[in-house]
């Protein structure tokens, strides 16, 4: 989960930063964080004060969710996803839950509640996954867990970049 928390810091979203780690048999098979598709633009660069335009449900109209990015990257690279576990910093929304189920991911571990974040009555994604037999659990941090909340994205250098 610490890796997912650190991945979330790579997101350029000014509304929420979410990270995901997809594992199988004790190995990391993919990682992801929320953001626009490769080849487009980062929302904090084009819309620095307000973020990208919202869709009809009030969500980002451009970004892929962290779970989607992790799953797409794994599939693109031919990784076997069935039976995997995904660790995510925010419980899956209903759309991500449907993808998780369809990809036969068997376990989801989340840190924060999507329902609490969105101010809605229930975690629809968690409810969906549980109903259809996916093992879902909320991660409870233990002593020594490094959780760093931030309101603004942290700009971290890419491999090979120099920090001024």
Q: CB within 8 A of 71, min separation 6: which ones?
A: 22, 30, 32, 81, 86, 99, 100, 103, 105
Q: CB within 8 A of 40, min separation 6: which ones?
A: 62
Q: What is the DSSP letter of 152?
A: S
Name the residue with tokens 């969500």: 59
> Is 44 strand, coil or helix?
helix
Active site residues: 67
């Amino acid at each position: 989960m610490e890796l997912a928390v650190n991945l979330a810091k790579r997101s350029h979203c000014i509304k929420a930063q979410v990270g995901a780690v997809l594992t199988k048999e004790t190995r990391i098979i993919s990682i992801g964080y929320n953001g626009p598709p490769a080849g487009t633009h980062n929302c904090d660069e084009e819309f620095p004060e307000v973020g990208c335009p919202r869709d009809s449900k009030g969500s980002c109209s451009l970004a892929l969710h962290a779970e989607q990015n992790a799953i797409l990257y794994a599939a693109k690279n031919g990784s076997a996803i069935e039976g995997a576990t995904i660790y995510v910093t925010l419980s899956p929304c209903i759309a991500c839950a449907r993808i998780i189920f369809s990809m036969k991911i068997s376990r989801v571990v989340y840190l924060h509640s999507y329902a609490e974040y969105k101010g809605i009555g229930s975690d629809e994604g968690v409810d969906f996954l549980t109903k259809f037999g996916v093992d879902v659990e909320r991660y409870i941090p233990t002593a020594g867990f490094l959780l760093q909340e931030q309101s603004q994205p942290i700009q971290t250098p890419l491999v090979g970049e120099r920090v001024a």
